[in-house]
Structure 1
Amino acid sequence: MKKWLTKWRLFYLFALMTLVLAGCGEPFLSTLRPAGEVADMQYDIIMLSTIMMVVVIAVVTVIFIYVVVRFRRRKNEENKIPEQVEGNHKLEIIWTVIPILLLLVLAVPVVSSTFQLADVDIMDDENRKPEEALVVNVRANLYWWEFEYPDHKIVTSQDLVVPTDEKVYFNLISSDVKHSFWIPAIGGKMDTNTDNVNKLWLEFDSERADDAGEYFYGKCADLCGPSHALMDFKVKALPREEFDQWVGEMTSYEQIAEGDLAKQGEQLFEEKGCIGCHAVSPLDERPEQARTAPNLATFGERSRIAGIMPHNEENIRAWLEDPESYKPGNKMTNTYPELNDQELDALTEYLKGLKIED
């Protein structure tokens, strides 16, 4: 008896925790706050299927309660057998047709949306102009993201910049294990594989982008290793004019270390072999196989360090000192040299200055 009571206590405890935790999180990480055309379609299907399930459960519950009350065993009627409906053709037709109709109601918008979301033919059009359809090559790595704009020869990491109110097309691939590309408020959630390229398009609504704040948040949605939960990226959605301005600034980017400490850091960056993995220019012409670490161009302007830590001098230094403690299993740990305090200060100063010059 005590064991039984203990189990039920645990059940109630976990039920209460589930209810409380359901209210945790942020709006920009919720699929229930859509901010784009794809997210709207997915949200509508979620709501439609949820309403259908609730209605079915409610109807079945009412029938169940009616049967329990109406046909309960009564005194002096222990041997009475209710009227049997087995073989009733009318009832069998009803409970066969109703599920079929429900499936059709759900199948029509699902199939329609599937074909609409799969329309990425413009990506393969050789006559396509960059202003007609922006294509971004997304490459997932343990545990960071790379974004390549092939029409503009720009490569960035961790921060994805896109125009609003137009379709943006993505080629998705992984350089190591299976990951999954997902921007909860925008849609997507598609696997990135090592042996094939998946394609999708997304649209970022300008009005709802303003409501989301400075960034949308993207995540890896497929368990990929010990730091899977830390594999985040940021999405900055800009009006087309501002996006074009950003492209112009990136293509004319010129990194200049200012100050003696920053110049010392730049020298250390080369001497310690950091430059062998990390590029510091967005115009990275190396093949993707050679891009084994995040591109650090405009690192000084990012909102997060390693995608997860608030961007400030203290966290930059902490990451340089011991990256393994912040992202276990990252590839930087095994190849990273030991640095003394002076070297840490110099590299921190250098990285802070990696930004677009006005």
Structure 2
Amino acid sequence: MKRFAKWRLISLFAILALVLSGCGRPYLSSLRPAGEVADIQYDLMKLSTWIMVGVIIVVLIIFTIVFFRFRRKDDRIPKQVEGSHTLEIIWTVIPILLLLILAVPTVAATFKLADVKEMDKKNSKALVINVRSHLYWWDFEYPNEKIVTSQDLVVPTNEKVYFNLKSLDVKHSFWIPAVGGKLDTNTDNINRFWLVFDDKRANEAGNLFYGKCAELCGPSHALMDFKVKAMSRADFDTWVKDMQAVKQPEKAQTDLAAQGQEIFNKSCIGCHAVTPEDKPEAARLAPNLTNFGERSRIAGILDHNKEELKNWIKNPETYKPGNEMTNKYPAMTDEQLDALAEYLMGLKVQD
């Protein structure tokens, strides 16, 4: 009975795993490709899966035939085929052909996805974004546009977007599951690749994709998320112009926000920037907050509202253990938190 109960438990967990594997949202799944790179990778996944399934089916058929046809009925020894040149050739040639079928498109795709020479051309019009990973957040520099933002990656749809990837502390990995990737961000070299964000799939996902760190990097690795806002080229150009127009920190609109701005200038300005200007890597100590009021998440994981913002400022270690913000500023009263949250939620560059 104990053995039966164990198998019943295993079966229950197997069914549960199968059910949970179908859960999730379309903008989080690599099985619903939303761009050219994702399409290429998905096609390779399907090709390799079909090859593996085909091999399994053939092996099972041969096994079944041999099992029933050559099962022992008497003491006679069946005809031996050891050393058959025909069989040797067959089971040598077939794997070679299968490997070629898989290798040719894989190698071709690898070279295509690694083609970033457009980034090196003089006067290139390619959109290049420098991705910098930190514990446990991301910043995105647009060198040609001379702006920097954090946590929210903004990109145009239906065109190649090129990325330079680097880490400023430990190894991380840049991954947008629905669009393609992933690629490591290292401290000692820069990795480069490109992605295309499909307009139709972006609309289906509400113009918002989720990105993650795909390399175990510390206690809050699973919480190192970022958001991708995909929009038309016209909307993207408008966003760039609005960001470039911010030359001074956004002025507080209310008396409470003005108190919050004063607190920010005394406690937070040493690490956080509130203008999208390009800064040296060494000066990027914390996320850029220029358009904080327009973001979709706080700290990449919390709902974007004042209460969650105050909770995060009050005790960031509760939400992201091991983060670099803990104990970097004096404790604040509820009144100070209200004022600071009012100011930060008002940091917007677009109406």
Q: TM-score, normalised by structure 2?
A: 0.97
- Which residue of 1 is the match for residue 220 of structure 2? 227
Confirm or deny that 1:174 pairs with 2:167: yes
Kindly indicate whether the alpha-carbon contact (under 8 Å) linking 1:168 and 1:201 is maintained by their aligned counterparts in 2.
yes
Amino acid at match of 1:276: G
Equivalent in 256, 260, 265 of residue 261 of structure 1:
256
SS in 2 for 1:95: helix
Query: Which residue pairs with 2:68 in the alignment?
Result: 69
Deviations 1:151-181, CA, capped at 9 Å, x for gaps? 0110000000111111100000001111100
- Size of the aligned set, in residue pairs, is 349
- How far apart in 2 are the matches of 1:135 and 1:188? 16
Q: Quick one: distance in 1 between partners of 2:350 and 2:61? A: 68
Gaps of 5+ in 2: none
* Cα-to-partner distance string for 1:3-41 (whole Å, 9 max, x where unaligned): x44543342233122112111111111111001110010
Kindly report which structure 2 residues correspond to 1:333-344, keeping only aligned pairs within 5 A, or say none: 333-344=326-337
**How far apart are the structure 2 equivalents of 1:231 and 1:357?**
26
Deviations 1:330-354, CA, capped at 9 Å, x for gaps: 1001313211111111101010111
Task: Report the equivalent of 1:150.
Answer: 143
1:13 — aligned with what?
A: 12
Shift of 1:313: 1.4
Segments of 4+ in structure 1 off by > 2 A? 4-11
Partners of 2:207 and 2:231 within 8 A in 1: no
Q: Which piece of structure 1 moves more, 12-21 or 40-49?
A: 12-21
- Letter aligned with residue 276 of structure 2: P
- What are the within-5 Å matches in structure 2 for residues 23-42 of structure 1? 23-42=22-41
Alignment pair present for 1:202 and 2:195: yes
Q: Deviations over 1:272-313 (max 9, x none)?
A: 2x1010001112x32111101000111001110001111111
Matched with 1:93 is 89
Q: Could you tell which deviates more after superposition, 332-341 or 144-153?
A: 332-341
Calculate the aligned-residue CA RMSD, in Å. 1.2
CA offsets 1:126-163 (integer angstroms, 9 cap, x no match): x133xx20000000111101000000110000000111
Please say if residues 186 and 202 of structure 1, whose CA atoms lie closer than 8 Å, have aligned partners that are also in contact: yes
Query: Could you say what secondary structure the match of 1:295 adopts?
Result: coil
CA contact (8 A) 1:122 1:128 kept: no
**Farther off after superposition, 209-218 or 106-115:** 209-218
- Match for residue 248 of structure 1 among 236, 241, 246: 241
- Tell me whether 15-24 or 343-352 shows the greater mean CA deviation: 15-24
Matched to 1:290, the amino acid is: A
| Offset, 1:355 | 0.5
Please list the CA deviations of residues 195-219 of structure 1 after superposition, one character each: whole Å capped at 9, or x if unmatched: 1000000011111211121301111
Q: Hey, what does 1:354 align to over in structure 2? A: 347
Deviation at 1:72, TM superposition (A): 1.4
- The secondary structure found in structure 1 opposite 2:175 is strand
2:270 counterpart of 1:280: no
CA contact under 8 A between 2:134 and 2:169: conserved in structure 1? Answer: yes
> What is the CA distance between 1:357 and its match in structure 2?
5.1
Which amino acid letter does the alignment assign opposite residue 29 of structure 1?
A: L
Find 1:305's aligned residue among 298, 309, 314.
298
Specify the alignment match of 1:116 in structure 2: 112
Q: Give per-residue Cα distances to partners, 1:53-74, cap 9 Å, x unaligned.
A: 1111001011111111111122
In 1, the alpha carbon distance for the partners of 2:65 and 2:330 equals 73
